[in-house]
Amino acid sequence: MDGTGDNAAHDHGPFGRPLFDDPSTRKLARVGVVDIGSNSVRLVVFDGAARSPAYFYNEKIMCGLGAGMSSTGILNPEGRQRALAALKRFQYLARGMDLPPLTAVATAAVRDAEDGPGFCEQVLRETGLKIHVIDGEEEARLSAQGVLLGWPGSYGLVCDIGGSSMELAEISGGQVGKRVTSPLGPLKLRDIKGGAKGRKAHIKEVMLDLHDRMGQQSNRLFLVGGSWRAIARIDMERRGYPLHVLHEYRMTAKSVSETAKFIAAHDLEELRSACGISSTRMVLVPYAIEVLKRLVQTFRPKDIALSSYGIREGMLYEQMPQQLRDRDPLIEACQFAETKDARLPGFGRTLFDFILPLFSKVPADRLRLVKAACLLHDVSWRAHPDYRAEVCFDNATRANLGGLKHSERVFLGLALLHRYKNKRDGTRFEELYDLIDEKTQLQAEVLGKAMRFGAMLWMSEGGHIGELGWRPKKRILSLNLSEGAWPLFGEVAEARFQSLASSLEASVEIKLVS
Residues 45, 57: contact at Cβ < 8 Å?
yes
Percent residues over pLDDT 90 in the chain: 74
Least confident range of 40-54, 203-217, 222-236, 288-302:
40-54
- The answer to whether residue 7 is domain-embedded is no
E strands present in 192-310: 220-224, 250-251, 303-306
Q: Is there a domain that residue 1 lies in?
A: no
In this predicted structure, what is the pLDDT of residue 58? 95
Q: How confident is the model at residue 28 (pLDDT cuts 50, 70, 90)?
A: low
CA distance 348 to 473: 28
Whether 408 and 495 map to the same domain: the answer is: yes
Alpha helices in 302-437 (DSSP H): 311-318, 322-325, 329-341, 347-355, 364-376, 388-398, 406-420, 430-433
Give dist(CA 42, CA 25) in Å, integer: 24
- Strands 250-251 and 303-306, how do they pair? antiparallel
Would you list the DSSP string of 63-88? Answer: --TTTTHHHHSS--HHHHHHHHHHHH
Q: Is residue 227, in this structure, part of any structural domain at all?
A: yes
Residues 109 and 194 in one domain: no
Question: Based on the domain organization, do 185 and 235 belong to the same domain?
Answer: yes
Same domain, 415 and 493: yes
Strands 507-513, 476-482: parallel, antiparallel or unpaired by DSSP?
Answer: parallel
Total domains present in the chain = 3
**What does the pLDDT read at residue 218?**
84
Picking from 157, 163, 187, 199, the residue whose alpha carbon sits closest to that of residue 295 is 157
Same-domain check for residues 201 and 291: yes
CB-CB contact of 310 with 143 (8 Å):
yes
Q: Domain range holding 126?
A: 20-133
Distances (CA, A) of 91 to 87, 448, 457: 6, 45, 50
Q: Is 321 a domain residue?
A: no
pLDDT digits 0-9 by tens, 254-281: 999 999 999 999 999 999 999 999 999 9
The larger pLDDT score, comparing residue 350 to residue 234, is at 234
Does the residue 128 lie in any domain?
Answer: yes
Q: Do residues 119 and 142 share a domain? A: no
The DSSP-derived string for 418-431 is: HHH-S--TTSTTHH
Across 124-160, b (16+ Cβ under 10 Å) vs e yields eeebebebebbebebbbbbbbbbbbbbbbebbbbbbb
Share of the chain above pLDDT 70, in %: 92
Amino acid type, 209: D
Among 279, 313, 347, give the residue marking a domain's end: 313
Instruction: Let me know whether 196 and 220 are in one domain.
Output: yes
The confidence score (pLDDT) of residue 50 equals 56
Distance CA 388, CA 392 (A): 6
Rounded to an integer, what distance in angstroms lies between the CA atom of residue 355 and that of residue 109? 55
Give the C-alpha separation, 265 to 243, whole Å. Answer: 24
Same structural domain, 398 and 264:
no
Pairwise pLDDT comparison (135 vs 53), residue with the higher score: 135
Q: Which of 36, 308, 70 is nearest to 184 (CA)?
A: 70
How do 30-36 and 507-513 pair as beta strands? Answer: unpaired
